Amino acid sequence: MIFKLRFFFLVFIFPLIASFAVEELPRYKIIDLGTLGADSSIAVAINDNNQVAGTLRNGTSEECFLWDEQKGLHIPGCDINPWRINNRGQITTNNKIWDPNIGIVEICIEDVTISLFNENFQGIGYKHLNNNGCYVSSHAVFWDRGKLINLTEEFLKKVPGDWGMVKASSINNIGSVALTAQKKIKDAKGNLLNYIWRSFILKDGLFTEILTEKGNEQLYAICIDDDHNVIINSPETNMAYLVPFDSSVVTYIYGGGENIKNGKPVQVGFLRGVLKKDSKGNQYYSFRTEIKNLLIEEWPFCNIHSATIYGQNDKGYVVGKIDTVYGNHAFLGIPIWTEKTTN
């Protein structure tokens, strides 16, 4: 009996384990970005030109920094709390864009928050709805170079059916938007039974539902790229889908974590992020990944307590913070892939 079990393991199970073992996360060459004499620094975003945006902290005061390969760490002189940096070098946060050529563009519309921008002065967010000064709900909105469009109102006018809340989750550089809408499920008498979240793309003024064949499955649109590929989460099935807009070929992504393996989408979390594509065309998604065990064995300055990723570019470079005994240090991580053989 023992022989049979050993034979079964060697012939069937071990090759299966070996085939999975080739999928490994990279290690990283770590570059300390410094602090410019501040108490600490945190890198929050990186673009595909390897420009890094982050924050220097002195006590309770904070200041935005930029880092690039030519100038190193420097202060751009922008009054902004950085969230993202795009390939034009624009730094964005809620209701603000800092452009290296024109300075700060600020959106000052009552009860409106624009939280995510593309490279062409367009953004998405929400508008608070108030009743006698009390917040009651919110509408998804689209900001286009000073013009505000209420996406919830447009959706309810153009999409047939009985819908509730509408949320905008991602915008690409063409101005297309990924949305999630709350569909009302009622019985024959019109009584409300349940809500189902469904995913849509807004492209050229038209709302198109994605994965209609999934029936009543809860589907949350997470992000959209410039080719109109969309990542959609399905918490009920503990998986996600990578959906090309003009194709029926859907990539299934199992699990609910936030890791990447060899530049491919393997696990997708629920936080807003960016759909990425590496130099080989592989697509992947990651956000705020804990990477202490992925770093090169020894931080060159002192022991690492923890390490967290806050941003990633299309080359797989990551930025974040290293928590050391001397405080937080902003870092840039360059992935080092080990050559692997496959079966």
DSSP string, 140-174: EEEEETTEEEEHHHHHHHHS-S-EEEEEEEEE-TT
Identify the pLDDT of residue 253: 64
pLDDT tops 80 at residue 156: yes
Identify the pLDDT of residue 248: 72
Cβ contact 104:96 at 8 Å: yes
Contacts of 223 (CB under 8 A, 6+ apart): 169, 170, 178, 230, 231, 272, 273, 274, 275, 285
Over residues 42-81, the pLDDT tens digits come to: 999 999 899 999 999 998 899 999 999 999 999 998 888 9
Identify the pLDDT of residue 288: 45
Identify the pLDDT of residue 63: 94
pLDDT tier for residue 115 given thresholds of 50, 70 and 90: very high
129-167 burial code (b ≥16 CB/10 A, e <16): eeeeeeeeebbbbbbeeeeeebbbebbbeebeeebeebb
pLDDT tier for residue 186 given thresholds of 50, 70 and 90: confident
Identify the pLDDT of residue 231: 82
Identify the pLDDT of residue 259: 37
Identify the pLDDT of residue 1: 52
Identify the pLDDT of residue 134: 63
pLDDT tier for residue 172 given thresholds of 50, 70 and 90: very high
Question: What is the residue extent of each domain of the chain?
Answer: 24-83+288-343, 108-283
Region 261-288: mean pLDDT is 45
Residue 8, Cβ density class (10 Å: 0-12 exposed, 13-18 middle, ≥19 buried): exposed
Identify the pLDDT of residue 239: 77
**Mean model confidence pLDDT for the chain:** 78
Identify the pLDDT of residue 159: 96
Cross-strand pairs, 327: 324
More confident residue, 82 or 260: 82
More confident residue, 299 or 181: 181
pLDDT tops 50 at residue 10: no
Q: What count of other Cβ atoms lies within 10 Å of the Cβ of residue 24?
A: 13
Task: Give the three-state DSSP class for 50.
Answer: coil
pLDDT tier for residue 323 given thresholds of 50, 70 and 90: confident
55-69, 117-131, 203-217, 311-325: range with lowest mean pLDDT: 311-325
Identify the pLDDT of residue 292: 55
Identify the pLDDT of residue 25: 52
Question: Which segments of 26-175 does DSSP mark as H helices, in order?
Answer: 151-158
Identify the pLDDT of residue 192: 85
More confident residue, 278 or 192: 192
97-106, 154-163, 186-195, 305-314: range with lowest mean pLDDT: 305-314
- What percentage of the chain carries pLDDT values higher than 70? 72
More confident residue, 256 or 77: 77
pLDDT tops 60 at residue 294: no
Identify the pLDDT of residue 74: 94
- CA 59-64-69 angle, 5° bins: 120
